Amino acid sequence: MHRRFALFATLCLAAFSAHAEVTIDGHIDPTEWAGAQHITDFRDTQPKTGKPGSQPTEAWVLSTPKGLAVAIRVTQSADVPRSTQQTRRDEDALVDRINVMVDFDGDGRVGYDFEVRSLGGVADEVITNESDFSYDWDGRWDHAVTQDAEGYSVEILIPWYIAPMRRADGENRHIGLYIDRVIAATGERMAWPAVSFDQGRFLSSFNKVSLPAYSQSLFAVTPYLVGRVDRAHGGTSFQEGADIVWKPNGQTQLTATINPDFGQVESDDLVVNFSPEETFFTDKRPFFTENQGIFDFSLLDDYSQLVYTRRVGGESDDGHGPADISAAVKVNGSVGDTSYGILTAQEKGDDGRTFGALRLTQTEGTQTFGMLATRVNHPFLDRDANVLGFDHRWQPSETFTLTSNIVGSKIDQPQANSSGLGATSIAFWEMTPVWSQQWLGMYFGHRLDIDDFGYLPRNDMEYLHWEVRQRVTDLPADSAYASHLWRYRISAQDNTEGRRISRRFRIQRDSRRRDGGDEEWRLDMFTAAYDDLLTRGGNPLHTPPTAKLTYERESPRIGHWSWKDEGFIGGNQLTGYHRLAYYFKFTPTYFITDAFSIFAGASYEWDPNWLIWQDRGTQVSNLVGAFDGRTVGIDSGVNWNFGNKQELRVKLQTLAVGAKLRQAYEIDPEGRAVPSNEHIDGLGVANLGFQIRYRYEIAPLSNLYIVYNRGGYEQDTEDEVGSQFRRGFGLKDIQEGLVKVAYRLEF
C-alpha cells in the first residue's frame, strides 16, 4: 500500500511538473525546470584549453509557450573575488556575467546575445559574419538574478517573437545555442560548446538543439514626444512620432516608423579626419537596429556594408544639414527555407531621398546563398543608384569555411553614368586547436560605387593576404598571462592599374591576463609603395619603407581603480623612419562607490610631416602641406547607475589640433614630393562635445530622457594647439536641452 501511494504521488508530481509555468524570479525551482535539458559540460575557452572550468556551472534549457527559458547556476568559491560594480545597459564592463547566444534558424547567419551580469545589469547584441558583435540592438526579454553565499542564479525568458525565424520543422524547432559564464577577477570564460569568438568560425559552431516549437505574436506601438530648447539659435520646438512593430509570428515581422526622432540622446565620439576615407559611425536608432541582421552584407573589408543605415537621415543632398525622415518601413520573414527582408525609407522635402533594399537568403545543407539589391533615388541630384550583390558561404567540414560575394553597381546621372564590379572571398581552415590559417582576396573596380546606401572605405583596389594564427595556452602558472593568440600576416594591395599601394608584414599578439585584463601588441612593417588617394585623383605619392608599433591594454577594476591605455609609434609618409610619430592615451577610472565612478582620459599625438591635401576648387590639385601636427584630447565623465533602471551620465570630449606648416609640396607624375613656394596657411581645429544625460527606464523599451548638449567644431589658421585647446571650451555651436518620453504599448 505504501509503495502504491508513493508511486501515485510521484506520478502526480510529474504531471504537475510537466505543466508548471516557469516564473522568472532568479530562483531555480526544480519543479518549474523539470523536463528541461540539463547542461553541465562547461569548458574553458578563455584561455581556450578545452579543460573543465575551474568553477561549477550548470544550465537548464526549456521551450515554453511564452519563449525560450534558460536558467544558469553559477558557483563561485570564496577565494575568487566577486565583482560588485553596477553597470548600465550595454556597457562593456569587466564584471561577472553569463551569456546566452541563440541562432534561431540554426544556420549560422544571424545570432543574438543575451547577457546578464551578476548584479542584474544586461546587454544584448546581434551577431553577424560569424563573430561581429553589435551592441546597437535592444530587445524585449525578461531576466532575474539572485545571489547567495555560494554564487548566483540567473533566469531569462526570450520571447519567440524577438527575432525573425523560419517555420519550425514539424513539432520541433532546431536552433543553435551557446552558453557561457565569465569570472571577472581572472578573465576565465567557461562555455558550452567549447568554442571561442576569436576563432574563424564561432556562430556556425553553436550546438544544435531541438526543442518543442511554439509561436507568439506581438503588436506594439511606441509613441514619443520630444521637447527641445535651442539656446544657440533660439527657439523652442516639439516633435512627436511613433515606432510600430507587428509580429504575427516568427515568419512575418513588420517594423515601421512615422516622423522618427533621431535627436541627441546618443552622442558620437569626436573625430578630426583630414584623410580621404570617410569615418564610420554605428547606428543606435531603434528602427534601424530592430530585425536588421538579415541585411548584413559585408564586403569583408573593415566596416564595409551594402546597407549602412546612417545614410538615411544623413547629410542632405542640398548640403543644408541632416535630412528629415518622413517614414520608414521594414518587413522581415521567411517562406519555407528562404528568408527575406525589405526596407524602404523616405526623407522629407522635394530634395528628400528614397531608399530601398531587398534581401533574400537560403540555406541548402552546408551552403548558404544570398542576394541583396539596393536602390537610392536622389531627386535633387537627378541621380539613381542601384547596387546588386550575391553572397555565398560553404562549410564542407567542421574546420573549413569559404565565404564569397560579388557586387555590381550602376549609377544613372547626367554626365556621370557609371557601372562597376567588386568581389571578395575569404577562406578559414582550423588545422589543429593550436594552428589555423586564413586567406582573403578582394577586387573592387575603380567604378564600383556603393556609397549611396552602403559604406566602402575605398574602391579601385586588389588585395590579398595570408594569415597564420597560433594559440598558446600552456603558459607557466606564475605567468601574468593566461593565453596568447599570435597572428602572422603578409598582405599585398594594388590599385586596378597595377600600382603598388601596400606590401605589409604584420605580427600581432592578443593576450588574456590572469587578472582578467586584455592586452594587444601589433607590429606592421611596410615596404615602399604609393598613396593614390592623398591627392583625390591627382598624382600618387611615393612613400618610403616604414613601420608602426601599436599597444593597447585594459585593466579590470582592482579596489577603487581600473584603467585603459593605448598608443603607437611609427614612421611617416614623407621621410619614413626619420622623425617618428607617436600617440598615447591613458584613461583611469575611479569608483567612489560600486554605482558611481569618474573617468578622466587624456591623449596626445605628435604627427611630424603630416601630409594634408590642399583643395583648389574644381581643378585637380597635387598640392599638399607637410605639417608638424599636435593633437591634444580629453575624454572624461561621470557614470552614476541608480540600480538597473536609472542612470546619469556626464561626458566631456574635446580635441584640439595645432599644425604648423613645415613645407608645401607638389606631387609630380613620378610620385616625388617637390618643394613648392605656394602659400599654405597653418591649421588649427577646436572640437567640443559635452553631454549630461539622465535616463529612467519606465518599463522595458520605454524611457524618459533628460539631456543637455553643448559643442561645436571650428577650423582656422591658428596653429598653436594650446590656444585651440582653450578655445574649444567656449564653443557653443550646439547648446540645447531636451526632454524625450517614449512609452511602448503592447497588445
CA distance 194 to 200: 14
Once rounded to an integer, what is the mean pLDDT over residues 455-460? 95
Once rounded to an integer, what is the mean pLDDT over residues 13-33? 75
Once rounded to an integer, what is the mean pLDDT over residues 630-641? 96
Q: How many CB atoms lie within 10 A of CB 511?
A: 20
CA distance 114 to 162: 12
Question: Grid coordinates in use for 70?
Answer: 534558460
CA distance 691 to 693: 6
pLDDT at 9: 40
Radius of gyration of the chain (CA): 27
CA distance 463 to 264: 39
Once rounded to an integer, what is the mean pLDDT over residues 341-351? 94
Once rounded to an integer, what is the mean pLDDT over residues 46-50? 93
Once rounded to an integer, what is the mean pLDDT over residues 350-356? 95
Q: Which residues contact 122 (CB under 8 A, 6 or more apart)?
A: 89, 114, 115, 116, 143, 644
For cell 516568427, name the residue.
Answer: 250
CA distance 677 to 365: 66
CA distance 338 to 348: 34
Give the start-to-end residue ranges of the domains of the chain: 19-215, 230-249+534-668+683-742
- The answer to whether residues 726 and 654 touch, using CB atoms and an 8 Å cutoff, is no
Once rounded to an integer, what is the mean pLDDT over residues 658-671? 96
CA distance 85 to 516: 15
What percent of the chain lies above the pLDDT cut of 70?
97
Torsion angles phi and psi, residue 350, rounded to 5: -65, -25
| C-alpha dihedral, 86 to 91 to 94 to 100, nearest 10° | 100
Give me the amino acid identity at 370: G
Q: Which residues contact 337 (CB under 8 A, 6 or more apart)?
A: 166, 362, 363, 364
CA distance 298 to 184: 32
Sign of CA dihedral 452, 457, 458, 461: negative
Q: Which residues contact 381 (CB under 8 A, 6 or more apart)?
A: 317, 413
Give 105's DSSP letter: T
Give the pairing of strands 683-699 and 189-192. Answer: unpaired
pLDDT at residue 11 is higher than 50: no
Question: Grid coordinates in use for 543?
Answer: 612613400
Torsion angles phi and psi, residue 2, rounded to 5: -65, -40
pLDDT, tens only, 696-721: 999 999 999 999 999 999 999 999 99
How many C-alpha atoms does 256 have within 13 Å on its Cβ side? Answer: 11
Torsion angles phi and psi, residue 92, rounded to 5: -85, 85
pLDDT at 262: 61
Look at the chain and count its residues. Answer: 747
DSSP annotation string for 124-166: EEEEETTTEEETT-----EEEEEEETTEEEEEEEE-TTSS--P
Give me the amino acid identity at 224: Y
CA distance 609 to 604: 16
- The answer to whether residues 564 and 575 touch, using CB atoms and an 8 Å cutoff, is no
For cell 583625390, name the residue.
Answer: 536
27: closest CA among 66, 60, 63, 76? Answer: 60
pLDDT band at 644 (very low <50, low <70, confident <90, very high): confident
pLDDT, tens only, 139-174: 999 999 999 999 999 999 999 999 999 888 889 999
- For the 19-215 domain, the top CATH level (class) is mainly beta
Question: Grid coordinates in use for 717?
Answer: 589658421
pLDDT at residue 408 is higher than 50: yes
How many C-alpha atoms does 398 have within 13 Å on its Cβ side? Answer: 6
Lowest mean pLDDT among 178-192, 214-228, 264-278: 264-278
Question: What average pLDDT does the structure give for the chain?
Answer: 93
pLDDT at 19: 46
pLDDT at residue 12 is higher than 70: no
pLDDT at residue 264 is higher than 80: no
292: closest CA among 243, 341, 334, 252? Answer: 341
pLDDT at 18: 44
Once rounded to an integer, what is the mean pLDDT over residues 596-612? 97
Torsion angles phi and psi, residue 17, rounded to 5: -65, -40
- The answer to whether residues 449 and 422 touch, using CB atoms and an 8 Å cutoff, is no
Q: How many CB atoms lie within 10 A of CB 234?
A: 7
327: closest CA among 347, 349, 342? Answer: 347
pLDDT, tens only, 388-399: 999 999 999 989
Work out the angle at residue 583's Cα, subtended by the Cα atoms of residues 578 and 589, and round it to the nearest 5 degrees. Answer: 165
Give 542's DSSP letter: E
Q: Which residues contact 555 (CB under 8 A, 6 or more apart)?
A: 515, 517, 562, 563, 564
Question: Grid coordinates in use for 170?
Answer: 514539424
Indicate left, alpha or beta for 171 from its phi (over 0: left) and psi (-120 to 50: alpha). Answer: alpha
Q: In what order do the strands lie in the sheet with 67-75?
A: 37-39, 57-64, 67-75, 151-158, 142-148
Question: pTM of the predicted model, to two decimals?
Answer: 0.91
| C-alpha dihedral, 657 to 658 to 663 to 667, nearest 10° | 10
